[in-house]
Amino acid sequence: MTPALLLPLGLAALAALIIPLVIHIARRSEQLPTDFAALRWLRQKPRPRSRLRFDEWPLLILRLVLLALVALWFARPVLFGAGDKTAWIAVVPGADAAQARTLVGEGRGHWLASGFPDLKTPRPTSSAPVASLIRQLDAQLPPGAPLTVVTPQVLQGADAERPRLSRPVTWRVVSGSMAARQPTPAVVPPLSIRTDADHAPGARYLQAAALSWQTAGRPADAESAALDAALPKADRHLIRLGAGTLPPAVVQWVEAGGTALVSSDAAVPGGPRATVWRDALDRPLIEAQALGAGRLLRFTRPLTPSETPELLQADFPLQLKAALTGPAVQPARVAATDYAPLTGGRAFDPEPLDLKPWLAVLIGLLLLGERWLATRRSRGAIP
């Protein structure tokens, strides 16, 4: 485990440590009587002697520690590598539940479904691509956490290639069966474009692509407005071309289940990302990440022909449509023994443990102790 500070500038608050030192300095003048036989031995002006000392050491130390912890809280301390490395057992819905619970033992049993619900809950009825869920679980688990996948003998909804993960996986095949998935064709997405003046030239390519999506008897549904216009309904796809941090309203719109595509100069929340469109040189052009119940996509390059020559290619509308909607889901049936994940995949940095809540509790306890020492009856009149 490695501690770190996300905002080291917050340690500048340590300068406040001078305050309790000043408060606890006791300056007392001390005059010593002088024996004399006659007034001629008396000095014209006595010179008092003063000495510097600190009063109430326990209270002073407590106040110094309290201020130091507050400064540390401002610096946002985190702890890397502190994730729970308990063994995970992911059970594919359709696997024999009794056999799966026997294999779980002392580990953490979860259904391999959206949200990874606990194995004690009823079996999920909704189906999702098994490979995508395995990759997502591999990205979310801390490095070193053992992973076991319990699967029925035949998998439905498999990808065209075996998953490649960052860790070795114990692949257990048990009895059971999964419901067959029906192919889902990709539909033409109703599109809402929001752009500012700087990104307006790139938005024209997107508007032209949306117009090409129209089918016989069904015109393309695309509308465009300024960047600060109202957000569309949740059943529409949003393309937002604007620099800077995404407004909270846009983030909440995506988390509620929306799909948004933003420009390359937009600051998006951190998290695992997958490339959904690569150019002819195998470089990422659009990356996607899950955000709540929605999906957030981002261009990796500016929308200019010099930076993104794909804008001028004939298949640009089809590639853009596939990135927004995803490819058509085809039924993929494979024997589980032939689909065991491979190793050598990318390892994502786990989320660090935020220590601010623990520091806040400790600061609150020390504050109570400081107030008790400062207001107790036996305390003198010293500050």
Rounded to an integer, what distance in angstroms lies between the CA atom of residue 315 and that of residue 154? 36
pLDDT (0 to 100) of residue 216: 46
Rounded to an integer, the average pLDDT of 214-232 is 76
pLDDT at 85 over 50: yes
This prediction has a pTM of 0.44
The topology (CATH level 3) of 191-325 is Rossmann fold (3.40.50)
pLDDT for 29 equals 46
10-14, 42-46, 124-128: lowest mean pLDDT where?
A: 42-46
Give the start-to-end residue ranges of the domains of the chain. Answer: 1-28+54-79+352-383, 88-182+331-343, 191-325
* pLDDT tens digit sequence for 92-124: 888 887 777 777 665 578 888 888 888 888 888
Report CA-CA distances (Å) from 332 to 73, 125, 180: 51, 18, 9
Tell me the pLDDT of the chain averaged across its residues: 80
pLDDT at 322: 85
**What mean pLDDT do residues 3-32 have?**
74
pLDDT at 75: 86
Mean pLDDT for 7-26 is 80
**Greater confidence, 44 or 217?**
44
What is the mean predicted confidence (pLDDT) over 50-54? 61
User: Over the stretch 193-217, which tens digit does the pLDDT of each residue have?
Assistant: 999 999 999 999 998 888 887 654 5
For the cut 90, the answer to whether the pLDDT of residue 189 exceeds it is: no
Q: Is a pLDDT exceeding 60 seen at residue 133? A: yes
Instruction: Give pLDDT tens digits for 258-313.
Output: 999 999 999 888 877 888 898 888 889 999 998 888 899 999 999 999 999 999 99
Query: And the tokens for 307?
Result: 């930076």
